[in-house]
Amino acid sequence: MERYVLRARAVDQPGIIHKLTGGIASTGGNILDSAQHCDEDSGQLSVRVEFESGADSEDIRTELVDRLAQFDPIIELRKVKDKRRALIMVSKLDHCLDDLLYRYRRGELPIEIALVVSNHEDLRNVVEAAGLPFHHIPVTAETKPAAEQKLATLVNESRTDFIVLARYMQILSDDFSAKFAGRIINIHHSFLPSFKGAKPYHQARQRGVKLIGATAHYVTADLDEGPIIEQDVVRVNHRSSADNLVVIGRDVERKVLSEAVRLHADDRVFLSGNHTVILG
């Protein structure tokens, strides 16, 4: 028996779930955990099913595609043991990378790290010491299109499922972002209220915020405005200088990014309009 995760998205209509579970049952599958949500704004149905089956994955997929054809769904089927493959991008800051590598080594994240790409050489040693391939792709205004082409090639060659921007300090082009829509996760600091402009931690310090947060989101053309996957905050006080706030902010960034990667890699995050539905 093999354990599978099935994801499906479609415009909601009566009977989809019945057809879908019929497909699973007809190939001898037994559902272990499932969740489904119909977004009342967008009308999109999102379904995640974990099941066990002795059938071949292609047979299951064919059965599901046939049965659901009338609903024109997007179906993804994966053996749980075939983990999602991540390409991690970094620049010089290593706090998010460090946390991802730590959890990866311990098997806490259901991912394979295909490779790490950086626009700097600084973190090569850390990555190679972890036994992972490191690619240096420098980026300037002139070389950006070529650099993104090279990146896209690496994504394909490494069979990467999704890209994690672990404090990668370059902005991806709109074309690249669109091409990998829903497959690039970014992390950035968040405050209540937001602070526009430079030195947000200094602004936060001046206003005396009591909470420092972080937001992980999918990348869209508007870098910091994509659909939110995960957020968290941590309490601070007047004793913290702006520099202390930066350190505290790094901690919550690590935590939030790792949790977003876990949710995505576990196939729990569904895009629906400009927001996410997180099942399970």
Task: Give residues in contact with a second copy (CB under 8 A).
Answer: 12-18, 21-22, 24-25, 28-41, 95, 98, 102, 106, 108, 190-194, 205-211, 213, 215, 224-225, 227-233, 237-239, 241, 247, 272-278, 280
Residue 172 CB, nearest approach to a second copy (Å): 20
Identity of residue 87: L
Beta strands in 119-236 (DSSP E): 134-136, 162-165, 184-190, 211-218, 228-235
What tokens appear for 278 in the block?
A: 């997180």
- State the DSSP H helix or E strand holding residue 79, giving kind and residue range, or none if neither: strand 74-79
Strand partners for 112:
85
Omega cis (within 30) before 193? yes
Smallest gap from Cβ 151 to a second copy, in A, equals: 27
Is residue 9 within 8 A of residue 43, CB to CB? The reply is no
Cα–Cα distance measured from residue 259 to residue 268, given in angstroms and rounded to the nearest whole number: 11
Q: What span, in angstroms and rounded, lies between the C-alpha atoms of 102 and 100?
A: 5
CB of 99 to a second copy, least distance (A): 8
Alpha helices in 95-215 (DSSP H): 95-105, 124-129, 144-157, 174-179, 200-207
Residue 240: count of CB within 10 angstroms of its CB = 18
Closest to a second copy by CB, 84 vs 254, is 254
H or E element in which residue 77 lies: strand 74-79
In this complex, which beta carbon is closest to a second copy, that of residue 15 or of residue 138? Answer: 15
Q: List the catalytic residues.
A: 224
Of 160 and 177, which has the nearer Cβ to a second copy?
177
Residues 161/202, Cβ–Cβ less than 8 Å: no
In the Cβ-directed half-sphere of 208, how many Cα atoms lie within 13 Å?
A: 2
C-beta closer to a second copy: residue 16 or 123: 16
Closer of 180 and 270 to a second copy (Cβ): 270
